[in-house]
Structure 1
Amino acid sequence: MGAFAGFYGGWLDSLLSRIGDIFFSIPYILAAIVVMSVFSTNRNVFTLAFAIGGFAWASTARVVRAEVLRVRQADFVTASRALGKSRFGTLVSHVVPNAIAPLLVITTISLAAAVVAEATLAFLGVGLGSNVMSWGNDISAAQQSLRVAPMALIYPSIILTVTVLAFILLGELIRDALDPESEGPPMNATSREPLLSVRDLHVAFESQSGSREVLHSVTFDIFPGETIAIVGESGSGKSTTASAIIQLLPGTGHVTSGSIMLGDDDLTLYNQAQMANIRGREIGYVPQDPMSNLNPVWSIGFQVKEAVRANGIASGKKEIEARAVEVLKQAGLADAEKRMHQYPHQFSGGMRQRALIGIGLAADPKLLIADEPTSALDVTVQRVILDHMAKLTREKGTSVLLITHDLGLAAERAERIIVMKDGEIVESGPSRLILENPQHPYTQRLVAAAPSIASQRIQAVAEDRGVKSLDDLADATPTLRVRGLTKDYKIRQGSFRSEPFRAVDAVSFDIPRGKTLALVGESGSGKSTVAKMVLKLEDPTSGAIEIDGVDVSGLSRKQTFDLRRRMQPVFQDPYGSLDPMRNIGNTIAEPLEIHKVGDSASRRARVNELLDQVSLPRALASRYANELSGGQRQRVAIARALALKPDIVILDEAVSALDVLVQDQILKLLADLQSELGLTYLFITHDLAVVRVAADLVCVMERGKVVEQGTVDEIFANPTQEYTKRLLDAIPGASIPLGGGVADGL
């Protein structure tokens, strides 16, 4: 019941959740006593199972629903549906395998609880009878002769306790065995006295093959009121450094040597209870992945209020509510009062990240560690968030450790930049000096690949695309035509009440064959909703979508299935778009299997061909997603999208989560594939610097409406709408000249 409620959502979720709440409100032990008393003349194993499980299931269903709801949000689940797989098939083949580890844990815990419940019923005399072997009967009998033979009570009590602990331990062992990422690391001065001082820090991860050191002699200082940025490609050690500071290293990671001094205290000597008092109050933390760090079963408002309450920022229901609304407003959510009642899955990725940033800043910490805090945000919201961080720095002496792959943002917001590669610091110094005159070859490569709007490299590439104005495309036949597209949602307000919300309002655009249209705008502007409707993952309230002149709204189920061969998505998160339980070969071959294309031999050949196309070694086919870097995962996602030889590819923030070097490689790959295969791209993005490189046409959206559209040259050179001008002006680092031999390389 929990699995169906979590996966299908909507009215079914509401109905099943209310039923579960009714059963959950009844103490299951009390209910079991009543049931066993009613069936006193006909007690058997089935009666006992019904008595215990008939009411105890509700708590298990809640946990199952939460876990399924978490997995349901993953991009690989959406990708499976976009391939044409049925919802039930997606539930069985993708959701259940990825939720199975925690579900097995709750199953073993439930079995342990059932053992305790049976013993309790037997002890109270409402079990299967005194002649049946039961620890409850043994304890009850021992109680009668406690003074004569006290050990008779201790033995069954110990055995019962050990049995319960064994079930729980079994669940933990199963979870660790089934977790594909349980081993190894992820591949990914105003004052003379520093606030934080890191000295000779070494971090290692343990695995079956031994210890592997991932940080080597990392040393730096952060002074009160200072903002420093750590930059580098995926796997360079940026996030590992941040996690080590607050003792939140994943898996088997641990500090092997070195010190992390916060004032006079060495945090490497703190236990978890002591660190709990440091996190939030002294050191705030904003993680990168918003969906993994927000509980899907609680509203956004509840989670913000929990952070406010836990850090002692406010007391009293009204004061906590007011502070929570203020926190969300400071994070850039103008309609915070309404958003408080919504759940994470009802937020866009950028809006979820804003909520996390608000939670991180809620307690006004001395140091804020922000791990890619704006990678999922549009440029205008970036400015709101980063301006707020700067305001804290000025007014309260708050220091900021910014982990980012955006060199423009680093130069604009940080006083100093630390460049990391392979777990070591290769260069550090004042921000402008590092970007304008990088010394280390690796830093020069980073700067050369940075998609700054001021970069001469990007200007040259944009001019080579050959589309100056809409007149150049007047005779081109649109492959994809959208007319008057509108989407309304009903937002639940509780007690089965809801109110309408218009996410997309009369959107229209055309994409000629072989061209790229970039759909840009702030988070929540409706970009991704348009993409889902084009992919037929959402049904429009009104409007039309035409593919080569055919309106797709009236297609039958089989015709829709056939249409999916022509349209495929590539999603934002390279870590969430691939099923971790499937190897790379099976992941790429899945579209071929769903559409029954070829036999196993031809599918293997097609997988090898696709790996070649995206410049990945064929040996990766037998490996799993957790063994690949972010850039490699995104190449796999592109290969999967190309498996059925589609005409149209929907790129939903496909490069925003990647560091600049990998981003540059993926953009070049997409351009080469478009030229080679004649692909048509719908590019959903908030990064206007990337638009300058990748797109022919631009469509600007604000609050669900298209406010301006034209060619890249027209929009960038002469924007007519104030909103578009604000988007362009807000690009971080746009006015900073970059070094690294950019111009020389043209």
Structure 2
Amino acid sequence: MTVEHVTTPLLRVENLGLRHVSGSATTPILSDVSFELGRGEILGIIGESGAGKSTVGNAILGLLSPEFQQTSGTIEFDGKAIDGMTADERETLRGRRISAIFQDHTASLDPLMSVGAQVEETCLALDSSLSRREARARAIDLLARVGIPEPEQRYRNYPHQFSGGQRQRVVIAIALAGSPDIIIADEPTSALDATVQKQVLELLKILVDETGVSIILVTHDMGVISEITNRVLVMRKGQVVEADRTTAILDQPGHDYTKKLLAAVPRLRIPTGIDSGQAGSSAIDGDQNPLLVAEGLSKQFAPQGFAWGIGRSKPKFGLRDVGIRLARGSITGIVGESGSGKTTFGRLLAGLDTAPTGRITIGEHAFDVSRSGRRSGLLGRVQMIFQDPSVSLNPRMTIGETLDESIRFGARTGSSKEPADLAAMMDRLGLPRILLGRHPHQLSGGQKQRVCIARALLARPEIIVADEPTSALDVSVQAEIV
């Protein structure tokens, strides 16, 4: 299915077919995928986990592993077939004229190098005519362009000293280092909160207007699609099921699968009597006999600037006198922008961090928050589902080994008299049992997060802290998990 353009497209993918070969087994991955990308256009590719969205982007970039074989079709960039280029030609094309922004900004940045050095090294790699001073000046300019405050000072900072939104901005700066014609952005905002997500999307639109770059935006988020794209491809099981202008897709979807995706988008409900200006309390109330009570939790973080000679400053509060009362069997939501303390609060409740003041009580047992959860006995009573499944799963363990370990942990703590049923949990979360023998890198982002949910449940905790548990899932799976 191809949408026609009046002008010659910058990129044309026609009848692309791919298969994955492993031993004697052959699995079709893409079938008859066709589309075009115009200059200065933002094209969205949407679909559920495993639809083939990221595979299309990797095929264009030439990043597919040898197990993937092209069975049909062509990929043309600026009138020349990419799939017919030599390895050196593709290497020259990648980064300079076609670059990428990947989903996991944490994995995209080297934790041992300052962000400025990483942008500078990319500039030098893509333009050998630059001097070190010129590359540094360009790196600072790129950091400023993507909205990093005080880029000359932040140049020396390391990735861990930036928020998630700022790290993604650095990744975008690296993608711009070669002044590319096309950027392939694979889930660039999935790990960001709503306000930062909006800022990054606005940044991408500004970059299109200022530089004329074209963007292929791979996402499972219909909200992102509606916010930024000109046209949309809807993919399912390796095929394009619908392609049209964004407004047409959103207003009058033609395919049942597209209608299903749109129907799964959550709608905001504001209860009667609540308005956007109403202030909240620092303590969230449960029932008269709550399962969990946390009171007066406060935590400060030491400043990062002194090590770089910026000057000594006062410690910053991550939490200040925060509490919660949680009823048994209830679900309480904690919402706020990046840096507001949500994750810090959750880690304290799970016994993964300590605080100098405050108290946590579960049932009749009080826990000393100034001691580690392992020493205080809190660890295991509360399980945590982390935001980033790629980081929270051990890459050396198979999925089966990871989940078996969780079952043994639950049995050791005596949290339940009933044995955990691994097979039933896999079925309940929509995970094929064949995944038990695989490692995390062999799973999609959505599958990895469902494994993390299974791991938390199989430990049989009394309380689960879910830190952005659906951020890596497509909208239909989000609805199922919620």
TM range (shorter): 0.7 to 0.9
| CA distance in structure 1 between the aligned counterparts of 2:99 and 2:432, rounded to whole angstroms | 41
- 2:322 corresponding residue in structure 1: 508
- 1:448 corresponding residue in structure 2: 263
Question: Deviations for 1:39-95, whole angstroms, at most 9, x for unmatched residues?
Answer: xxxxxxxxxxxxxxxxxxxxxxxxxxxxxxxxxxxxxxxxxxxxxxxxxxxxxxxxx
- 1:426 corresponding residue in structure 2: 241
Q: Secondary structure at 1:205's aligned position in 2?
A: strand
Q: How does 1:139-288 map to 2 (within 5 A)?
A: 192-250=7-65, 252-288=67-103
| Aligned partners of 2:194 and 2:337 also within 8 Å | yes
| CA distance in structure 2 between the aligned counterparts of 1:556 and 1:576, rounded to whole angstroms | 22
The one-letter code of the counterpart of 2:269 is Q
2:191 corresponds to 1:381 = no
| CA distance in structure 1 between the aligned counterparts of 2:216 and 2:141, rounded to whole angstroms | 24
- Tell me the CA shift for residue 216 of structure 1: 1.0
Q: How does 1:326-341 map to 2 (within 5 A)?
A: 326-341=141-156
| CA distance in structure 1 between the aligned counterparts of 2:392 and 2:185, rounded to whole angstroms | 23
The one-letter code of the counterpart of 2:368 is V
Question: Deviations for 1:650-697, whole angstroms, at most 9, x for unmatched residues?
Answer: 212211111111111111xxxxxxxxxxxxxxxxxxxxxxxxxxxxxx
The one-letter code of the counterpart of 1:258 is G
The one-letter code of the counterpart of 1:649 is I
| Aligned partners of 1:330 and 1:385 also within 8 Å | no
Structure 1 pair 527–472 and aligned structure 2 pair: CA distance change class (3 A): closer
| CA distance in structure 2 between the aligned counterparts of 1:301 and 1:665, rounded to whole angstroms | 41
Q: For 2:344, which of 517, 529, 547 is the aligned residue? A: 529
- 1:553 corresponding residue in structure 2: 369
- 1:459 corresponding residue in structure 2: 269
| CA distance in structure 2 between the aligned counterparts of 1:615 and 1:282, rounded to whole angstroms | 40
Q: For 2:298, which of 485, 488, 512 is the aligned residue? A: 485
Q: Secondary structure at 2:100's aligned position in 1?
A: strand
| Aligned partners of 1:283 and 1:367 also within 8 Å | yes
| CA distance in structure 2 between the aligned counterparts of 1:190 and 1:395, rounded to whole angstroms | 22
Q: Which moved further from structure 2: 274-283 or 564-573?
A: 274-283
- 1:721 corresponding residue in structure 2: none
The one-letter code of the counterpart of 1:253 is F
Question: Deviations for 1:166-205, whole angstroms, at most 9, x for unmatched residues?
Answer: xxxxxxxxxxxxxxxxxxxxxxx88611111111112222
- Tell me the CA shift for residue 432 of structure 1: 1.4
- 1:369 corresponding residue in structure 2: 184
| CA distance in structure 2 between the aligned counterparts of 1:639 and 1:578, rounded to whole angstroms | 12
Q: Secondary structure at 2:351's aligned position in 1?
A: coil
Structure 1 pair 459–522 and aligned structure 2 pair: CA distance change class (3 A): closer
| Aligned partners of 1:244 and 1:254 also within 8 Å | no
Q: Which runs of 5 or more residues in structure 1 are unaligned?
A: 1-188, 668-746
- Tell me the CA shift for residue 642 of structure 1: 2.1
- 2:357 corresponding residue in structure 1: 543
| CA distance in structure 1 between the aligned counterparts of 2:473 and 2:28, rounded to whole angstroms | 24
The one-letter code of the counterpart of 2:213 is T
Structure 1 pair 621–307 and aligned structure 2 pair: CA distance change class (3 A): closer
The one-letter code of the counterpart of 1:640 is R
- Tell me the CA shift for residue 251 of structure 1: 5.0
The one-letter code of the counterpart of 2:167 is R
| Aligned partners of 2:18 and 2:29 also within 8 Å | yes
| Aligned partners of 2:10 and 2:79 also within 8 Å | no
Structure 1 pair 309–518 and aligned structure 2 pair: CA distance change class (3 A): farther
| CA distance in structure 1 between the aligned counterparts of 2:352 and 2:153, rounded to whole angstroms | 26
| Aligned partners of 1:238 and 1:420 also within 8 Å | yes
- Tell me the CA shift for residue 611 of structure 1: 4.1
| CA distance in structure 2 between the aligned counterparts of 1:379 and 1:605, rounded to whole angstroms | 36
| Aligned partners of 1:230 and 1:401 also within 8 Å | yes
Structure 1 pair 339–583 and aligned structure 2 pair: CA distance change class (3 A): same
Q: How does 1:599-614 map to 2 (within 5 A)?
A: 605-608=420-423, 610-611=425-426, 614=429
Question: Deviations for 1:214-252, whole angstroms, at most 9, x for unmatched residues?
Answer: 111111111111111000011111111011111111352
- Tell me the CA shift for residue 538 of structure 1: 2.9
| CA distance in structure 1 between the aligned counterparts of 2:409 and 2:209, rounded to whole angstroms | 57
- 2:458 corresponding residue in structure 1: 643
Q: CA RMSD in A?
A: 3.4
| CA distance in structure 2 between the aligned counterparts of 1:340 and 1:491, rounded to whole angstroms | 14
Q: Secondary structure at 1:565's aligned position in 2?
A: coil
Q: For 2:158, which of 340, 343, 346 is the aligned residue? A: 343
Structure 1 pair 216–499 and aligned structure 2 pair: CA distance change class (3 A): farther
| CA distance in structure 1 between the aligned counterparts of 2:371 and 2:418, rounded to whole angstroms | 28
| CA distance in structure 2 between the aligned counterparts of 1:345 and 1:604, rounded to whole angstroms | 40
Q: Secondary structure at 2:369's aligned position in 1?
A: helix
| Aligned partners of 1:568 and 1:641 also within 8 Å | yes
| Aligned partners of 1:200 and 1:216 also within 8 Å | yes
- Tell me the CA shift for residue 326 of structure 1: 3.3
TM-score by length of 1: 0.56
- Tell me the CA shift for residue 610 of structure 1: 4.1
Q: 1 or 2, which has the higher helix percentage? A: 1
Q: How does 1:703-714 map to 2 (within 5 A)?
A: none
| CA distance in structure 2 between the aligned counterparts of 1:436 and 1:662, rounded to whole angstroms | 22
The one-letter code of the counterpart of 2:318 is V
Structure 1 pair 201–360 and aligned structure 2 pair: CA distance change class (3 A): same
The one-letter code of the counterpart of 2:113 is W
The one-letter code of the counterpart of 2:458 is A
The one-letter code of the counterpart of 1:543 is T
Structure 1 pair 643–552 and aligned structure 2 pair: CA distance change class (3 A): farther
| CA distance in structure 1 between the aligned counterparts of 2:341 and 2:188, rounded to whole angstroms | 21
- Tell me the CA shift for residue 346 of structure 1: 4.3
| CA distance in structure 1 between the aligned counterparts of 2:130 and 2:261, rounded to whole angstroms | 47
| Aligned partners of 2:298 and 2:322 also within 8 Å | yes
Structure 1 pair 190–421 and aligned structure 2 pair: CA distance change class (3 A): closer
- 1:83 corresponding residue in structure 2: none
| CA distance in structure 1 between the aligned counterparts of 2:85 and 2:433, rounded to whole angstroms | 46
| Aligned partners of 1:313 and 1:363 also within 8 Å | no
| Aligned partners of 1:490 and 1:498 also within 8 Å | no
Question: Deviations for 1:7-37, whole angstroms, at most 9, x for unmatched residues?
Answer: xxxxxxxxxxxxxxxxxxxxxxxxxxxxxxx
- Tell me the CA shift for residue 615 of structure 1: 5.6
Structure 1 pair 234–313 and aligned structure 2 pair: CA distance change class (3 A): farther
Q: How does 1:715-726 map to 2 (within 5 A)?
A: none
Structure 1 pair 605–504 and aligned structure 2 pair: CA distance change class (3 A): closer
Question: Deviations for 1:308-359, whole angstroms, at most 9, x for unmatched residues?
Answer: 2233399444543343233234334335444433333444444332221221
Structure 1 pair 639–472 and aligned structure 2 pair: CA distance change class (3 A): closer
Q: Secondary structure at 1:288's aligned position in 2?
A: coil
| Aligned partners of 1:299 and 1:344 also within 8 Å | yes
- Tell me the CA shift for residue 404 of structure 1: 0.9
- Tell me the CA shift for residue 427 of structure 1: 0.2
Question: Deviations for 1:368-408, whole angstroms, at most 9, x for unmatched residues?
Answer: 11111111122222233222222232233221111111112
| CA distance in structure 2 between the aligned counterparts of 1:386 and 1:659, rounded to whole angstroms | 18
Question: Deviations for 1:630-654, whole angstroms, at most 9, x for unmatched residues?
Answer: 4443333222212332222121221
User: Which protein is bigger by CA-based radius of gyration?
Assistant: 1
- Tell me the CA shift for residue 364 of structure 1: 3.0
Q: How does 1:597-636 map to 2 (within 5 A)?
A: 597=412, 605-608=420-423, 610-611=425-426, 614=429, 621=436, 624-625=439-440, 628-636=443-451
| Aligned partners of 1:330 and 1:388 also within 8 Å | no
- 1:563 corresponding residue in structure 2: 378
